[in-house]
Amino acid sequence: MIIPQTPKGFRDFLPSTSLKRKLVLAKIVSVFERFGFDPLETPAIEFAETLKGKYGEDEKLIFEFTDRGDRQVALRYDQTVPLSRVVAQYPELPKPFKRYQTQNVWRAENPQKGRFREFLQVDFDVVGSSSTLVDSEIAQIISAVLKELGFKKFRILLNSRPLLNDLMKSSGVDENLVTGAITSIDKLKKIGIDGVIQEMVGRGIPTEVAKKVIESFQNAKPNQEVQSVLDTLKDSGEDMSSFVFEPTLARGLAYYTGIIYEAEVEGFSAGSVCGGGRYDKLIGQFSGTDYPANGASFGFDRVLEAMEEQGLLPEVKTTTKVLVTIFSKDLVQNSLKVAQELKAQGINTEVYLDTDAKLEKQLKYADAKGIPFAIILGPEEAEKAVVNLKNLSTKEQTQVPISEVITKLT
RNA sequence: GAGGCCGUAGCUCAAUUGGUAGAGCGCCAGAUUGUGGAUCUGGUGGUUGUGGGUUCAAGUCCCAUCGACCUCCCCA
């Protein structure tokens, strides 16, 4: 026998879970569409060279393999790089190109809480404009999504990659060590001043320089880029308490060139819920011409976990409205007809698919599935040309003509 | 990539120094031949994740492997 299990970091979503995921995803997407974004889908597999050299150190986490035609291919690692490929490949797309994308990505990580090898990312990006209006709209959308999902307290951290580099260089960090130093400073809150100094020294940065770096980050002020985004958000009437300049925010991906974002929900510890930023040089790697671009990505599983923890997930077990029971073999036709009529009216209707089951069993089934109504159609109802409609949560039941059932269930 | 901890019935867990596996819930049937979530009675429950090894004897010890969880790393 084959052992029924999924590979490490890969998951099943049973109907009750899948249903919640779909509902939440639809909410997020509705926000994107409200802001004028349209969907895009790209293949799960890209040529390996499309993905390589874009993510920096994390590149080793790409699922890469040789296909049967000896091609080097790789599983989608994020949705930003495929988007960049698409923009370069279809130059006729009107700019600014605003698209959202909700597909799985794969990363060969060691699974942990809120971390999987296959997970859904929810991206939205604007390509073709370097305006600060874009930079602020991205932040605005992150906020709108989190609000739409019901989060009361969250923070959207803002920083700028050029600012990071400037602070490093003006503190005297050797140019070759800047990237490493940025990685270290990102952990300031987590490992403290001494921890960061220790780590920087380990990277070959002199202690005095490391101290200077920390000092300069502690005194850092928003640069013009960040400031104008904050100003625009304020002008748009946003509640500025959710937007925070965070000079130590770094972000791992190598392709960011400007403003960067990260969103965290208060009380949720398993990492940030959304991250993104401006990447003006990435698309140029595919097209020869640079296209300015900016966008962000929600980690769908983390969003769900945070919602779960805060009791924001809807309790839905099924979309089925009514179970039409089957009283006996000779009344099957009656039940089928009723079900047919309900379905024709757009009511989600399930017929019990066994003609020998006792009513008790059929009602138990409806109960277990969370179907709110049951229709019982016995000889008595057949005689009177009515139907017995039972509300399973209140136990109320009434004999009504089918037309009335329809009005009661819609 | 490094380290830790764990895997026993569908689910949650028990099993003394190694002595051949047990409970609750669930499920099925009945009490209740037209009515569910309650109660009672009876029944079903296992190659102890998988493969090796040590031993008279392995759920228990050793090795490998698969998987879950947790640190670190990094990230969504």
The answer on pLDDT for A370 being more than 90 is no
The verdict on whether residue A80 carries a ligand-binding annotation is yes
Enumerate the β-bridge partners of residue A217.
none
CA–C1' span, A5 to B66, in Å? 9
DSSP class of residue A48 equals H
Evaluated on CA atoms A191, A193, A197, A198, the torsion sign reads: negative
Assess whether A118 (CB) lies less than 7 A from strand B: no
Q: Which of A30-44, A108-122, A305-319 is predicted least confidently?
A: A305-319
User: How far apart (Å, rounded) are the C-alpha atoms in residues A342 and A337?
Assistant: 9
Residue A1: the pLDDT is 66
CA–C1' span, A376 to B35, in Å? 9
CB neighbourhood size of A77 (10 A)? 26
Contact present, A304 and A15 (Cβ < 8 Å): no
Give chain A residues 211-250 with Cβ within 7 A of strand B: 250
According to CATH, the topology of domain A322-409 is Rossmann fold (3.40.50)
Evaluated on CA atoms A109, A16, A347, A341, the torsion sign reads: positive
Share of chain A above pLDDT 70, in %: 99
What are the extents of the domains in chain A? 15-309, 322-409
Contact present, A381 and A388 (Cβ < 8 Å): yes
The nucleotide minimizing the C1' distance to residue A121's CA is: B76
Tell me the pLDDT tens digit for each residue of A333-360. 999 999 999 999 999 999 998 888 889 8
Contact present, A277 and A292 (Cβ < 8 Å): no
Give me chain A's average pLDDT, please: 90
Segment A213-238 mean pLDDT: 92
ipTM of this model? 0.85
CATH architecture of A15-309: 2-Layer Sandwich (3.30)
R_g over Cα of chain A: 27
The answer on pLDDT for A97 being more than 90 is yes
